[in-house]
Chains A and B, each alone.
Chain A
């Protein structure tokens, strides 16, 4: 066990023994039960799990939207006390403000920026270009497709060059083709900016394809079942045997399919509803 009191230089984000309860119908119901996770600078961590395993809740805690929990979440050793511009989030629903056009939606994120007016406009142009929406810079959100809207949301999240990019099932509501295309784009954007990314998803393929590590979570209460490092050979080709083997292993950990390992080890994991 790593000593959680001595933050190591390479661990940018340290989550220690984090538990969280929600009140459900008047009585406390645990959503997170003792999460321990270290994330290094520049790493891409995917978190997979069935709905209800608390993975989105964990993101909200890291973001600082909710500070009512037990345990510690530290960035460079300092406790997270609230939202900060070093962390940005992309929600599953793009949450673009319908009354602002694409440029203004991105510019909202720059309110606190120290940049001057002209520099802000330049930064917005840069971001619009980064996500390939130059032709739609003045369009309203209602005029965009789901994929385009999510690109704008990604651009908005990147506006302040956050150290941590938190992705809460950002591609979950998109069609399969758009999702594949945006996965590649996300990878390019994150690598290019050297951002540390934490992606919550229920798509195991996506988790493997994008993540340097895959954190597998199980529900009731949400906890980490396994953390699996993904090698380059495993992640690059979705149809490679290594990729498929890893996917099956993760699906088994999620209780969706039974692997030989489970069968022989005798855990009869029930399928997750």
Chain B
């Protein structure tokens, strides 16, 4: 008999904790057993809990810890596709398959996300402008729905349910398994070009004219600097090196990979460690230490893709009140909205030292999938007085520009504004009503926004 344990859950931002009954599930039968128990407050799958807000919480209800669904079921080295259970992490996929010359098709800024979570949030990475979001590379997935059936769905079988599940934040059922198309690589090193740009316009110009030359691209951007220096940034772009491009000392073991955590952040940070002064100093240093222009630097996968994963539990530096990550996208042609948003952020005196700007390519059909062609900005902000008002204002600006915010990051959007960001929301609700008429699958996020 499975036993659940009562736990307080939060997302990565450590805000708004709620209690739930958490059950570790290791098989389809386990998941079905929890479903059959008829929890009055519904059921939700949770992976590695890297969504920032309340997407993987279910107050008073049942939560499935899916990280024990961790088997790799099949790999086809000829075509480069793998079949895995939903709780397998991208970290594990890299450890297993990079030495065989396969990389994950899309990775977020952290590799500690499960495949199930990557599908549910339809995550994107530095290669969105070339490769789209994660679900574009999913051939099919097995979804356990509220009626207890397992349905194999994909872009070509029951596409409506598939595209409601991709980006559907776990609200259509439990993803059990998926077949994912990996990306062939000759080496585990990247050739990286770095450019420092003095302001936002220079950055956007550079990206518009040359982003198509790179597989991967992202800019760190200073959201504290004001005036003429507003939006100064460090742009890093790259691609995987071919074997013959590696310096001699790397050529012996071109696919070597190690993704270990080097140090851990202790849980003792005071609430206001990150204030405007410390963050401004950090940002200044970061900008100064970056080379003005550098070409063909060799970097490892963790250094290029997951710098923060080197510090376990870095979210603790924001102290006990936690933090919010705000990420939005505005379409091309709405550069003024991006400029205005940056101005409001920098003039608000909000201390954000992790802000990234990226240029998205075409979106995918996921009904609640976030990416759309345009500019996206993501920033971490410690929870302080007055933040709610600032972010509501930014949301209005984003909506007016035809943009939207990212559910996997959200913990506070106004429900009425959210509806205007996602024109397919009604279709999503209709699919949910068809596939889960009693609303068995639910979350704090779903209740907050009436998804």
Instruction: Report whether chain A binds chain B.
Output: no
